[in-house]
Structure 1
Amino acid sequence: MKKFALVTGASGAIGKAISMKLASAGYSLYLHFNQNEKGIEEVVRQIGQFGGEYIPIKANLASKSGYMELAANIFSLDAIVHNAGNALYGLLEDLEEVDAEELIQIHITSPLMLTKKLIPKLRQKERGSIVIVSSIWGQTGASYEVAYSTVKGAQIAFAKALSKELAISNIRVNAVAPGAIQTPMVEGFSQEEIETIAEDIPSGRLGTAEEVANGVEFLLSEKSSYITGQVLAVNGGWLT
């Protein structure tokens, strides 16, 4: 019987790596994207070698109706990976309300309400797993990223609270908290800035999207069958 997982934000660097990892592990996938149609087509092309069923679903999770559009296209379901998100840099004093609302919708409201809609489908399988891709800043906070740190911290609280609510249903809920990862998100930094960050990380380098995906796959697998309500830090020892 096929196992189906939903990956939100599947067209981005980490989403693509997660999709590749789960497809190679035998999952069929619902691949959520918003604007990056070429990116999702490339993901589908690359994971086609694994022989599963791969279904792209377009939905704008920054809108209030986006999660409903996505949920309406989900049928059989064994796992959810909440990976969709965007960064926001700047002083809190310069934060515009519209940007704050969008950040909260994408990182908090949409995952919360989407999960509510999909829990009954996980219960039908009498087991399930949910993984939320949060951030090191949700654990420690970052100046110049106060709003982003706030929503990422809320995601961790969501995982911890929901894990207690769903454990009786044999549905596990965990989070991964990536540190500095080599993705397009860091392309705005100079090489000197990246080297400075790397020097501050005990492992001496930035992480890779594949390393984050390894953590997600572990938390979805039976290898972590007695792990729930936890945050797996994928950060090379940075700021621990």
Structure 2
Amino acid sequence: MISKSVIVTGASRGIGRAIAIQFAKAGYHVAINCNTNADLLENVKQEITSYGVHCISYVGNIGEEEHAMKLCSNTIEAFGHVDVLINNAGISHIGLLSDLSLAEWNSIVTTNLTSVFLCSKGVTPNMVQQKSGRIINISSVWGIAGASCEVAYSATKGGINSFTKALAKELAPSNIQVNAIACGAIDTEMNQFLSTEDREELENEIPSGRFGKVEEVAEFVYAIATGSTYLTGQIIPFDGAWL
């Protein structure tokens, strides 16, 4: 029996870490990536291998072609193939558009959107060759609705949504499914800037009455990755009925 493998970008913490561990528990060999947090990534690697699977790690900005292609080629060299790609790497920026510099804009676009393009491009030939594969992009409800003071972030997530729909149509004949999960308020470090009062106010806006957990996102990602091959080209909200 051929062991399956998964690439998880932005896996040093939060949603990416939880996803990587979820797949490791299920017996997948795992390739993990982060931009700068090498020590945190090494901790995740050690936890993954404790489940009896192999893990490779790669530190680098996968919004840059050299690093994205290296991550993908290293994975194929180590495991022979890629079954699942989870495009999770992302950063946010809070502030008015008028205060957003071009450098900040470019940084968000590179990290959030260009990385999705490059990593998807990196694994597609291998998936086409084996006539199977799953690409799951971690998006946001702001990619659907837009958020004030998060114009750049919203734009990149909206771009991911359109990218997902288009690539799904392109790859469906090769039995490769492409979907995106539009996350709502998830309890991650990205949301730690909220004061206790702001957090409570936001929780009151969410019909489910709470933030989602990273483990819940991971379980949902795994369910999509192992579910029906007829599910493709979808942007699936995961937001507790918030929006």
Band the TM-score falls in, shorter-chain normalisation: over 0.9
Tell me, yes or no, if the aligned pair for 1:160 and 1:174 is still in contact at 8 Å. yes
The change in CA–CA distance for 1:149 and 1:171 in structure 2 (over 3 A counts) is: same
The 10-residue stretch of structure 1 (161-170 or 209-218) with the greater mean CA deviation from structure 2: 209-218
Within a 5 Å distance, the mapping from 1:16-31 to structure 2 comes to 16-31=17-32
Q: Which runs of 5+ in 2 are unaligned?
A: none
Q: Which residue does the alignment assign to 1:235?
A: 239
Tell me, yes or no, if the aligned pair for 2:56 and 2:75 is still in contact at 8 Å. no
Whole-Å Cα distance in 2 between the matches of residues 156 and 40 of structure 1?
27
Q: Give 1:209's match in structure 2, choosing from 202, 207, 214.
A: 214
Q: Which amino acid aligns with 1:45?
A: Q
TM-superposed deviation, 1:109: 1.7
Q: Which residue does the alignment assign to 2:181?
A: 176
Tell me, yes or no, if the aligned pair for 1:64 and 1:105 is still in contact at 8 Å. no
Whole-Å Cα distance in 2 between the matches of residues 69 and 164 of structure 1?
26
RMSD: 1.2
Deviations 1:182-204 (A, max 9, x none): 11111111011000000000000
The 10-residue stretch of structure 1 (143-152 or 103-112) with the greater mean CA deviation from structure 2: 103-112
Whole-Å Cα distance in 2 between the matches of residues 122 and 50 of structure 1?
26
Could you list the runs of 4 or more consecutive aligned residues of structure 1 that deviate by over 4 angstroms after TM superposition? none
Whole-Å Cα distance in 2 between the matches of residues 203 and 44 of structure 1?
33
Whole-Å Cα distance in 1 between the matches of residues 51 and 130 of structure 2?
23
Whole-Å Cα distance in 2 between the matches of residues 84 and 77 of structure 1?
18
Within a 5 Å distance, the mapping from 1:73-222 to structure 2 comes to 73-75=74-76, 76-221=81-226
Aligned residues: 238
Q: Percent identity?
A: 41
Q: Which residue does the alignment assign to 1:71?
A: 72
SS of 1:17's partner is helix
Whole-Å Cα distance in 2 between the matches of residues 132 and 160 of structure 1?
11
Deviations 1:95-153 (A, max 9, x none): 10011111111122222122112201112322000000001100111001011000000
Deviations 1:179-237 (A, max 9, x none): 0011111111101100000000000001110111112111110x232100011211111
The 10-residue stretch of structure 1 (109-118 or 167-176) with the greater mean CA deviation from structure 2: 109-118
Tell me, yes or no, if the aligned pair for 2:73 and 2:122 is still in contact at 8 Å. no
Tell me, yes or no, if the aligned pair for 2:179 and 2:235 is still in contact at 8 Å. yes
SS of 2:119's partner is helix
Deviations 1:21-55 (A, max 9, x none): 11112211111112111211221222223211111
Whole-Å Cα distance in 2 between the matches of residues 7 and 17 of structure 1?
10
Q: Which runs of 5+ in 1 are unaligned?
A: none
Deviations 1:62-105 (A, max 9, x none): 44533233233231211100000101111111110011111111
